Copies of this chain bind each other. A is one copy, B any other.
Amino acid sequence: MPKNDNVLVLSPTPLYSQIREILRQRILDGTYQPHQQMPSESELIKAFSVSRITVRQALGDLQRTGLVFKIHGKGTYVSKPKAFQNIGQLQGFGEAMSRMGYETFSQVVGIKTLAAGKVVCSKLKVKEREQITELRRLRYLNREPISLDVTYVPKAIGDRLAKEDLEHRDIFLILENDYGLALGQAEIQIEAMLADESLARLLKVEEGSPVLRIERLTFTADGQPLDYEYLYYRGDAFQYRLRIERGHL
């Protein structure tokens, strides 16, 4: 009898998604300890009164994000929290650094409104010649300049951002917490280049020094492009770290 008669029914979010979040919570607060053994699927089925397919979907999500791992024939285990937090998670620079105990701030070196060029235009999916905001910030880590961020957002958002405390707050966090824009994913391209004269001056390095250039297009949860950035990191002072998973494929 495929009738849904469950205590968990309260929000319009899928069942497996609710269960996934409950399990994530328990992992994060230590109910399920770092390196061993989650309840088995059949236990979870009884505990939540759902079918196996639902439990498996919840566990599968947690596995794909790296929070748990499974061993065929044995069970599902909680992953070790692992040295660096950055699990291929989209997060802002300050967000990542402050979590590691570094002190950061940003210096706004320019903010202006201009007509979108072709590239920005196609990335942000706005009409040609539409007004957008360009924001340039120098980011400091422990008093040293470490990167130049050039950010493009639609003018509507840019005008609001201009009034915010951009020196100490991440744009990502402002967009999410203050504006209620849920961020989804980002597409990133990373390449190596040499610092030209103006970039070298800003980052306080020699002209011709190696620079990590990251292009990042960030989308809202529902897939709208929201924020297009170029990040120029000093090659001698920054490493971009991440963890990636090998798929179940």
Q: Which residues of A contact B (CB under 8 A)?
A: 17, 20-21, 24, 61, 64-66, 69, 71, 80, 83-84, 88-91, 182-194, 208-213, 221-223, 233, 235, 238-249
A sample of 30 inter-chain contacts (CB < 8 A) reads A20-B249, A24-B248, A61-B247, A61-B248, A61-B249, A65-B248, A69-B184, A71-B222, A83-B187, A88-B88, A88-B242, A90-B247, A182-B246, A186-B244, A187-B241, A188-B242, A189-B240, A190-B212, A190-B239, A190-B240, A191-B212, A191-B235, A191-B240, A192-B193, A192-B213, A192-B235, A193-B210, A194-B209, A208-B208, A210-B210
CB atoms of B64 and A247 under 8 A apart: yes
Number of copies: 2
CB atoms of B185 and A244 under 8 A apart: yes
- How distant is A71 from chain B, measured CB to nearest CB, in Å? 7
Cβ-defined partner of A69 (8 Å) among B80, B211, B221 = B221
Cβ-defined partner of A185 (8 Å) among B191, B192, B246 = B246
A240 neighbours in B (Cβ, 8 Å): 189-191
CB atoms of A194 and B221 under 8 A apart: no
Give bound CA distance, A183 to B248, whole Å.
10
A213 neighbours in B (Cβ, 8 Å): 192
- How distant is A240 from chain B, measured CB to nearest CB, in Å? 4
Nearest B residue to A208 via CB reads B208
CB atoms of A89 and B183 under 8 A apart: no
A20 neighbours in B (Cβ, 8 Å): 249
- Not counting A88-B88, A187-B243, A190-B240, a sample of 11 additional A-B residue pairs whose C-beta atoms are within 8 angstroms of each other reads A61-B248, A65-B248, A84-B187, A183-B246, A183-B247, A185-B245, A185-B246, A186-B243, A189-B240, A192-B193, A192-B210
